[in-house]
């Protein structure tokens, strides 16, 4: 009978890494310094950054891995994690209109590489985001107000340091309706996959909950609405929005992307 440690990386394993990549990398993608310095890196620095990021990913994969004892294959984990992190960073930067085909290839590669570096670290640490058995209340969780409060708490933690910055305002002013809708859809999909597909603790209790509003789709929608309200509240507290007009909604949607990921993490660890 073959050893379980020889199993190939499963989609659920990779999804935990994707969750870690976005949770650690998304806030840094929302910084002008990454856009500026990434676009001004010389090719030698880009290559060095890519090589260093891969070696760090390999070291973390050796120490942590997706699931040591079952899929503990450091080199495979590092290749998968680094490759997916690079692709995820490129996708998010394109969605946020931070890179496009009109830029020089060195500029595009530099911005993506600088963004992918923290994402690859988050990917390697994805398995450590939440205890395997879930939070201490996961067995008692039946959805409802408690989950929404956890979602609000996670959203606040992740975006409190982003809300008072200029980046959400700049992005909201530059992104069109299609990209804003794309942010909403990607946030919903990632939140759903993180909570109900990736093998973080507590997902089975959630799937078996009897609360009628705690179906996976409805819980994901309600949690996103909480993240959107948290985003609007923080922006309003910092004087960045003052009504319910289109620009205010655009700013809230931009900030709600990382907020929705924080809301998902909050529900995972409860």
pLDDT of residue 204: 54
pLDDT digits (tens, 9 = 90+) for 21-41: 888 888 888 988 888 888 888
pLDDT digits (tens, 9 = 90+) for 193-208: 888 877 665 555 555 5
pLDDT digits (tens, 9 = 90+) for 69-124: 555 677 887 888 888 889 999 999 999 999 988 888 888 898 998 888 888 888 88
DSSP label of 228: H
Cα distance between residue 82 and residue 136, in whole Å: 32
Give the global pTM: 0.84
C-beta separation of 29 from 113 below 8 A: no
C-beta separation of 251 from 168 below 8 A: yes
| Count of H-run helices and E-run strands, the chain | 11, 0
pLDDT digits (tens, 9 = 90+) for 127-162: 666 555 554 544 455 556 778 888 999 999 999 989
C-beta separation of 186 from 257 below 8 A: yes
DSSP secondary structure letters along 244-263: SSHHHHHHHHHHHHHHHHHH
pLDDT digits (tens, 9 = 90+) for 164-203: 999 999 999 999 999 999 999 999 999 998 888 776 655 5
Cα distance between residue 198 and residue 85, in whole Å: 17
Cα distance between residue 198 and residue 18, in whole Å: 9
Query: What is the token pair recorded at 36?
Result: 């500026």
Average pLDDT score over the chain: 82
Where do we find the tokens 């998902």?
Answer: 264
Residue 70 neighbours by CB distance under 10 Å: 15
C-beta separation of 264 from 154 below 8 A: yes
């Amino acid at each position: 009978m073959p050893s379980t440690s020889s199993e190939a990386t499963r989609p659920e394993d990779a999804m935990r890494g994707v969750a870690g990549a976005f949770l650690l990398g998304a806030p840094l993608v929302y910084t002008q310094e990454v856009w500026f310095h990434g676009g001004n890196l010389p090719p030698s620095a880009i290559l060095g950054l890519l090589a260093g990021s891969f070696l760090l990913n390999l070291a973390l994969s050796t120490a942590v891995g997706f699931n040591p004892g079952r899929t503990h294959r450091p080199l495979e984990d590092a290749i998968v994690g680094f490759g997916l992190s690079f692709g995820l960073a490129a996708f998010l930067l394109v969605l946020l209109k931070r890179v496009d085909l009109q830029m020089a290839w060195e500029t595009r590669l530099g911005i993506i590489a600088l963004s992918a570096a923290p994402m690859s670290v988050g990917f390697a640490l994805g398995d450590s985001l939440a205890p395997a058995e879930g939070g201490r209340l996961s067995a008692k969780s039946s959805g409802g107000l408690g989950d929404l409060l956890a979602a609000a708490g996670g959203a606040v933690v992740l975006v409190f340091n982003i809300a008072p910055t200029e980046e959400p305002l700049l992005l909201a002013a530059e992104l069109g309706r299609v990209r804003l809708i794309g942010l909403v859809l990607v946030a919903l999909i990632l939140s759903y996959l993180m909570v109900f597909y990736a093998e973080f603790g507590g997902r089975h209790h959630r799937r078996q909950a009897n609360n009628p509003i705690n179906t996976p789709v409805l819980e994901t929608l309600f949690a996103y609405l909480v993240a959107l309200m948290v985003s609007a509240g923080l922006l309003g507290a910092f004087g960045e929005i003052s009504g319910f007009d289109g620009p205010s909604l655009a700013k809230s949607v931009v900030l709600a992307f990382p907020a929705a990921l924080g809301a998902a993490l909050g529900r995972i660890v409860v």
